[in-house]
Chains A and B, each alone.
Chain A
């Protein structure tokens, strides 16, 4: 129960996080990524800049990739949140993750969850893409380690695999 004098600083929210119903009382100023990391222990979303540039905290809110550092936890009230943990568990990005590892498209791994969630958008409705277009698509996710080429390769391979599976499926 929130007292009136606290109403301005805390609010009760209910949301779905990786398919699980969560009800919590959160400070109104708390960012969604901090809520996920600190209150729910979902530490796969990383904090790199806290001003929306680096993309390390990218997660999905009602199916749309957002910066977890630019969204308040209270804005997730009534919404569905998906994090790297949920996308891993559901298997939605398993192929992309496998290719990232095989192509060594990650080094320190700190940008990787956000990078994968951004890249996964290209696999929802896969279409042939140029390398330049893939680079543009992930241009909001900072990676200091790889130089990006392996990431672009991995995404291109994942798109190719998805397209082959879709068009070639009937032949098998």
Chain B
């Protein structure tokens, strides 16, 4: 089923935040520092302030008077002691692009002109960009206030790792290097803050995934009562985790609106987006795997190093990529031991944060590439090696060596379905035949685990004001239409369509009779969109609310019809006899009675046509989805160019409410994983100058390079829920890069070459083949 709310977007009638116009609206532009690390004292704003159209200029100190600094602390990880981040820098800047002043003017152009006239005396400080170099003794400090650049250390040790490697028949090892990624939602970060001094209320229109989170943060940091802050996310032009954080410039916009007492708009431009949006997944991993003579994987041992930029991003911290990358290692497999040590470094780069998949794509690459290396080492087909080592059904539910609580999985079933879907034997044969003709194709398989629908345990333990519950309010209107307000948000995934389908199904009405609203902190409380939670959590809340509303409707109808609720049912907008389906009363008639002719209703009993229900996973900490992907590609050994020929996904996200939308979630996610593997890279020089500040430099996947993607499903309903849904939003991204890694290395293996540095640009491929020498970059 298509999304009813897509039609107005296709008509160009969407209302994204920049499309909102308010009376007395003024524009803010941020001056961003040009240096990766510097101190500054005097800011001369006189010339800028005198320019036409300029209203006022704010420095970091001006903003700090109103807005508390941001410090991402987690109660359950006390060893992580992040330093406070000012919304607009004061005295010292730690990454190139950090805001240092805000210019407010009647137009954006006037503000941009004035920003260029601000004069600042910079004292450049030594900067460090490389996460490894940042942790070396004597490295320049990212912040003068720090004792070292080490942000966090943790370690997983489960089972006898040394014993496993000592007993191994073969050991394979590889050093992985993952380039820093940008999320690049097409709509840049945008915010309008409007403050009404008369009643001390702040209304914020923001392109964001979680309005309730931002309501909490604005209230806390600006000293406002929470109910006086309203955050509204209308149409959001892509987010992918990037719009889940609190950004200093956006906090400053709210503070400026309070100071000026009028609406203020900030629209990030594309250069600023590359300089200030959360980046992700800059990681190095030294991994090795032990296998025995029967092709059994014994252990994985890995050292991980993550670079999180200049600050630990607020409020969730920048640690997620590293923690998830470590804890998901080997998760689908029956390991005897896992050892993973993680070090996290500050560097003079943009802070890193959540981006679709959070660390899971890294764990999948490391695990699956090592599995492929192991298969090659013992001369076993990589598909067969996986099949032999998957967690057995009798081991589930259980806990992985990395500490993940795994429910029922369907790894073997997914693999079997994938093999037949892609016709694995035929592709292997084609690969052999073409290889004989000098054409180098590769096949890569990637098994993945996706953590979805994170429940009460994670952020509760961390002490963060992040709700994992979602709330749904339903109300029948006199017309018989259902008003549905939810706390989960939709940036195009189709969550609201799925919610409408669930409600419509329970109430026996067509989907167009369910009017869904979301994205407003004045509406039902919810977490918004993150960690593939929309239908798996929000859907459960909607189902519970619809079930209660159905019961109420039938009880009212029973009273009116002098029947009993058990003998009635809701079908085709009508109350019908459950036994024979004979219509008794239309829903519209019943609603009109309930609102306008209460005098006709007998006294007593449930009479309410409005219900609210909340849901959060409690019995399981999260719902674990799984699947297998495959990539088929060709490497041109002369040019280094990689051509994607095919991609297959078999995924198990439990019950699927809307196959059309689920499949497109998977495909969109896959392409983000393909982009990471082949093109995308935030490149900095060694001192932290960003070199990829445009879409001509940071290469995103475009239509011509992308393959068609075949998607199929295995269905293992989530236990302990009414609907059996697991999340699916990140599945594509979690597995796609790994499939490409395995396929490229499969193509190169007979040539004695291997690639281990992502993205696999032609340069990287040709270096691996020894056709060109390394650039050292």
A: residues with CB less than 8 A from B are: 27, 29-30, 37, 41, 43-51, 53-54, 56, 83-85, 88, 97, 100-104, 106-113, 116, 131-132, 134-136, 138-152
Interface status of B601 (Cβ within 8 A of chain A): no
* Contact, CB under 8 Å: A104 / B9: no
Q: Which of B10-18, B374-382, B389-397, B452-460 contacts A (4 or more CB under 8 A)?
A: B10-18
Q: Are B186 and A56 in contact (CB under 8 A)?
A: yes
- Contact at B704–A108, with CB atoms within 8 Å? no
Which residue from A30, A109, A131 sits with its C-beta under 8 Å from B10? A109
Most chain A Cβ neighbours within 10 Å, of B3, B10, B14, B109: B10
Q: A107-B668, A151-B703 are in contact. Are A45 and B238 (CB under 8 A)?
A: no
Is the CB–CB distance between B709 and A147 below 8 Å?
yes
Question: A49 near B270 (CB under 8 angstroms)?
Answer: yes
A53 contacts B491, CB within 8 Å? no
Report whether B240 and A144 are in contact in the complex, using a CB–CB cutoff of 8 Å: yes
* Complex contacts, B668 vs chain A, CB 8 Å: 107, 144-147
Min C-beta distance of B608 to chain A, whole Å: 36
B186-A111 in contact (CB<8A) = yes
Residue of A nearest to B710 (CB): A149
**In the complex, what residues of B have CB within 8 A of residue A50's CB?**
269-270
**B523 at interface by CB-CB < 8 Å:** no
Q: Is the CB of A108 within 8 A of B186?
A: yes
B700 on the interface (CB 8 Å rule)? Answer: yes
B702 x A147 contact (CB < 8 A): no
Residues A43 and B237 in contact, CB atoms below 8 Å apart: no
Q: Which of B148-156, B564-572, B659-667 contacts A (4 or more CB under 8 A)?
A: B659-667
Which residues of chain B are near A102, meaning CB under 8 Å?
Answer: 2
CA distance A50 to B273 in the complex (A): 12
CB pair B702–A101 under 8 Å, yes or no, is no
CB distance from A74 to the nearest CB of B (A): 15
In the complex formed, the residue of B with least CB distance to A153 is: B708
Q: Are B16 and A110 within 8 A (Cβ)?
A: yes
Q: How many residues of B contact A (CB 8 A)?
A: 55
Which residues of chain B from 480 to 520 have any CB-CB distance to chain A below 8 Å in the complex?
Answer: 491-494
B224 at the interface (CB under 8 A from A): no
- Whether B672 and A152, one on each chain, are in contact in the complex, defined by CB atoms closer than 8 angstroms, is no
Q: State whether A144 and B18 are in contact (beta carbons under 8 Å apart), knowing that A50-B269, A88-B12, A149-B706 are contacts in the complex.
A: no
Do B235 and A109 touch across chains, with their CB atoms under 8 A apart? yes
Is B695 part of the contact surface with A, judged by Cβ < 8 Å? yes
Residues of chain A lying within 8 A (CB to CB) of residue B239: 108
- Given known pairs A84-B11, A107-B493, A113-B12, the reply for A135 and B672 (CB within 8 Å) is no
Q: How far is the CA of A83 from the CA of B11 in the complex (A)?
A: 10
Which residues of B have CB within 8 Å of A138?
Answer: 703
Q: Is the CB of A49 within 8 A of B694?
A: yes
Residues of the A chain whose Cβ atoms lie less than 8 Å from the Cβ of B12? 43-45, 83-85, 88, 112-113
Partner of A147, one of B9, B10, B670: B670
- B residues in contact with A104, CB < 8 Å: 2-3, 6, 494, 660-661, 664
Find the residue from B492, B696, B706 having the highest chain A CB count within 10 A: B492
Contact call B704/A135, Cβ cutoff below 8 A: yes
Q: Which residues of A contact B638 (CB under 8 A)?
A: none
Q: Is A107 in contact with B186, judged by CB distance below 8 angstroms?
A: no
Pairwise interchain contact B664-A150, C-beta atoms closer than 8 A: yes
Whether B7 is near chain A, meaning CB under 8 Å from some CB there, is yes
Contact A44 B11 (CB under 8 A): yes
Which parts of B2-53 form the interface with A (CB within 8 Å)? Answer: 2-3, 6-7, 9-16, 18-19, 21
**Contact yes or no, B187 A108, CB < 8 A:** yes
- In the complex, what distance in Å separates the CA atom of A50 from the CA atom of B91? 32
Q: A108-B186, A110-B238, A111-B186 are in contact. Are A142 and B702 (CB under 8 A)?
A: yes
**Contact partner, A136, options B270, B492, B704, Cβ 8 Å:** B704
Return B247 CB to nearest CB of chain A, in Å. Answer: 19
Smallest Cβ distance from B267 to chain A, in angstroms?
A: 8
Residues A101 and B2 in contact in the complex (CB < 8 Å), given A27-B109, A110-B16, A150-B667: yes
Q: Which of these, A29, A110, A131, contacts B187 with CB under 8 Å? A: A110
Q: Quick one: which of B11, B185, B661, B706 has the most chain A CB within 10 A?
A: B11
A106 to B12 alpha-carbon distance, docked (Å): 12
Interface contact B706-A108, CB-CB below 8 Å: no
Please report the C-alpha to C-alpha distance between residue A83 and residue B700 in the assembled complex, in whole angstroms. Answer: 26
In the complex, residue of chain A having the shortest beta-carbon distance to the beta carbon of B711: A149
- B728 in the interface (beta carbon within 8 A): no
B306 in contact (CB, < 8 A)? no
In the A-B complex, list the 9 residue pairs whose CB atoms are closest, starting with the nearest.
A44-B12, A109-B9, A107-B492, A110-B237, A84-B12, A147-B671, A108-B492, A53-B695, A43-B19
Are B706 and A147 closer than 8 Å at their CB atoms?
yes
| Chain B positions within 8 Å of A132 at CB level | 704
Between B267, B664, B706, the greatest number of chain A beta carbons within 10 A of the residue's beta carbon is seen for: B664
The minimal Cβ–Cβ distance linking B23 to chain A, given in whole angstroms, is: 14
Q: Which among A30, A53, A145 is the interface contact of B238 at CB below 8 angstroms?
A: A145
User: In the assembled complex, how far is the CB of residue B512 from the closest CB belonging to chain A, in whole angstroms?
Assistant: 14
Q: Answer whether residue B111 sits at the interface, using C-beta atoms and an 8 A cutoff.
A: no
Docked pose: A97 CA to B236 CA in angstroms: 20
A108, B233: Cα distance in complex, Å: 13
Contact between chains at B703 and A109 (CB < 8 Å)? no
B186 and A146 contacting across the interface, CB-CB below 8 Å? no
Contact of A101 among B7, B269, B694, B709 (CB under 8 A): B7
B183 nearest in chain A by CB position: A144
- Apart from A30-B109, A53-B696, A104-B6, what are 4 other A-B pairs with CB-CB below 8 Å? A88-B13, A108-B185, A109-B237, A147-B670
